[in-house]
Amino acid sequence: MNRILVANSEGTPGVAQAAEMLAAGAGGLDAIEAGIRLVEADTSIRTVGRGGWPNLLGEVELDAAIIDGNSFRSGAVGALKGYLHPISVARAVLERLPHEFLAGEGAARFAEEIGAEKGDNLTPDSARVWREWFEENVPPAARGDWPDVPLAELCQQAIDPEKGKDTTVYLTLDGRGEIMAGVSTSGWAWKYPGRLGDSPVIGAGCFADTRYGAAACTGTGEMAIRAGTSRAIVLYMKMGLSLTAAVDEAIEDLRRLQGGLLQRITLHAIDRDGRHRVVAVNAEDQLYYWLWREGDAAPRSEPTEIVAL
């Protein structure tokens, strides 16, 4: 067997647990959900779950998705407010609904219906950093009827407070030879309310096909949505490309993008033989990811490749 787990550095709180579960024979969906729940609960990870950065209005909206590479059943939630574990709500979409993707009020309604854990995801520290941003960037003249003011200009100026920090992504090839993927994020800091990134968009933020492999993206979600990057990587493998060539081809697609938000994007991929590749495109700093392979005592941190567009 070639069991493998690839997760990004934001996945740190959950990788040991997910690897132990895979080593003990758990299925990929269980290992991914358990690992990501630990990330969502850890407030030191400022880009996922509780403690994540809020939107322009100071509200935390969470996105998550999980996909079963055997059945292509997926579950995704977007702009979910007031619940601690979007990955578990996403999994419940996969398991209980005839739908694949719920957003906003409908996602919250479903979370309530299944008894998902409620919680205030805006920590005092995130509220403080948001308030500082507000004081510096929203001119007093524009505050009059806050929050009933135009936001389009403000979201153009939004700058993530922590550069290079991301969505968490988990890719697994489990002991049954099945390939799964899951992702969870608070999305772009200071985003326009209701903005969905790539993470909950199946095929953009993640994709899995047990016959070929899986992929997931972090960073500028707008780029992964436009290029369908995760689905593209897996499709390129289906069309006969090696894992390395498939990722190169997806990078070529990203090179074609013009206009819009073009910044860093990191591509994570595994194939069914247990190979993997992680490439940070347009990264200013060295990024790291977690790798666990069958027989390893624990996951180890590895540097990503870096490619400039």
Q: Footprint of ligand ASP on this chain (CB under 6 A)?
A: 47, 166-167, 185, 187-188, 197-199, 218-219, 221
Rounded to a whole number of angstroms, the minimum distance from the CB of residue 223 to ligand ASP is: 9
In the three-class reduction of DSSP (H, G, I as helix; E, B as strand; rest coil), residue 37 is classed as helix
Distance CA(11)–CA(289), nearest Å, equals 8
Specify the residue, 13 or 187, whose C-beta has the smaller distance to ligand ASP. 187
Taking alpha carbons only, the member of 217, 220, 80, 205 closest to residue 160 is 220
Taking alpha carbons only, the member of 199, 207, 259, 245 closest to residue 225 is 199
Helix axes 104-113, 86-96, angle to 10 degrees: 80
Taking alpha carbons only, the member of 129, 149, 79 closest to residue 108 is 79
Rounded to a whole number of angstroms, the minimum distance from the CB of residue 96 to ligand ASP is: 25
In the three-class reduction of DSSP (H, G, I as helix; E, B as strand; rest coil), residue 17 is classed as helix
Distance CA(184)–CA(227), nearest Å, equals 20
153: CB partners within 8 A, 6+ apart: none
Rounded to a whole number of angstroms, the minimum distance from the CB of residue 28 to ligand ASP is: 21
To the query of whether residue 167 is one of the catalytic residues in this protein, the response is yes
Q: What is the DSSP letter of 280?
A: E
Residue among 12, 47, 167, 304 flagged as catalytic = 167
- Residue 36 token pair: 């990501």
Specify the residue, 33 or 166, whose C-beta has the smaller distance to ligand ASP. 166
Rounded to a whole number of angstroms, the minimum distance from the CB of residue 160 to ligand ASP is: 7
- Residue 135 token pair: 């004081």
* Strand ranges in 96-178 using DSSP code E only, listed in sequence order: 101-103, 168-173
Rounded to a whole number of angstroms, the minimum distance from the CB of residue 34 to ligand ASP is: 21
Rounded to a whole number of angstroms, the minimum distance from the CB of residue 44 to ligand ASP is: 16
Specify the residue, 178 or 290, whose C-beta has the smaller distance to ligand ASP. 290
Rounded to a whole number of angstroms, the minimum distance from the CB of residue 142 to ligand ASP is: 25
278: CB partners within 8 A, 6+ apart: 6, 8, 266, 267, 268, 269, 289, 302, 304, 305
CA angle 237, 241, 242 (to 5 degrees): 90
Specify the residue, 199 or 304, whose C-beta has the smaller distance to ligand ASP. 199
Specify the residue, 22 or 122, whose C-beta has the smaller distance to ligand ASP. 122
In the three-class reduction of DSSP (H, G, I as helix; E, B as strand; rest coil), residue 42 is classed as coil
Q: Is there a contact between 37 and 88 (Cβ–Cβ < 8 Å)?
A: yes
Specify the residue, 2 or 282, whose C-beta has the smaller distance to ligand ASP. 282
Specify the residue, 134 or 192, whose C-beta has the smaller distance to ligand ASP. 192
List residues with catalytic annotation.
Answer: 167
